Amino acid sequence: MKQPDDRLLKVAAIQQLCGDSKQENLDTSERLIRQAASEQHQLLVLQELHATRYFCQTEDTAVFDLAEPIPGPTTERLSALAKELGIVIVGSVFERRMNGVYHNTAVVFESDGTLAGQYRKMHIPDDPGFYEKFYFTPGDSLRNDGNSGFTPIDTSVGRLGVLVCWDQWYPEAARLMALAGAEVLIYPTAIGWDVTDDPDEQARQLEAWVTVQRGHAVANNLPVIAPNRTGVEPDPTGTSDGIRFWGNSFICGPQGEFLARADEDAETILSATIDRQRSESIRRIWPYLRDRRIEAYGDITKRVRD
């Protein structure tokens, strides 16, 4: 019998619709996880806040009732699925850390169901329709274990550089994950258009989102997995027309090449096979990390350069 090639990693990015029912959203996530596992995927990545609607369109203190501790109901369900199916799962939780402290947290479960690690979103936006600073405390820049917040999570399928949505616009986050030994960059995402934006503006925003993440792949010689949600979600207050999440989840290789890309509207399991040795091969011919002039970069830690 032919033995599996350890160089190859079959990964899936799950793009789903989300409604008002947390239970139904998690049922959808589970259905798609089970389908992906049946197709021999080894690593499954869910989108940001897949258990709920994107509630940050408005500021409402009642929404904090949706938050859960870790461990809690959502993590226990994902843990059980990872163990039953023998796969690594990256999920997303609106985390209640303590009274008054809440995080947007990515959780990673090993194939035996254990919590391999978690990452609390570091960059928190506050834009029209994306009022996340009201809900989320930024992740800790220095964790309890002494590591930076930008530290990969070790799993049986490799070292995962897990970041979340707004983090994807920051080259510093991707670079720090790469320097810490990440073998893949992962960006669970919830991003879309104001439904009143004109088509040209929508096209510019989508292209910017795709391009910046492909740039992180190129600049760090790492594959990128970026699942986004899809569908129109209404503004609960009715004061705006809501957000049309643009889907377009994608997986790209270490030169930014598309390995798989979803369309705008479909709920889907995006599948790709990553060659674990390609990053090493690319770094031998494009040695960006070797040629960094670290002695000249001190001003990067300043808010602005005087």
The CA distance from 45 to 243, in Å, is: 22
Residue 256 near residue 218, CB atoms below 8 Å: yes
87: exposed, middle or buried (Cβ count in 10 Å: 0-12, 13-18, 19+) = buried
Quote the tokens at residue 264.
């705008």
The CA distance from 203 to 222, in Å, is: 26
Q: What is the 3-state secondary structure (H, E, C) of 2-56?
A: CCCCCCEEEEEEEECCCCCCHHHHHHHHHHHHHHHHHCCCCEEEECCCCCCCCHH
The CA distance from 202 to 196, in Å, is: 10
- φ, ψ of residue 264 to 5 degrees: the values are -75, -40
- The catalytic site residues sit at 48, 121, 165
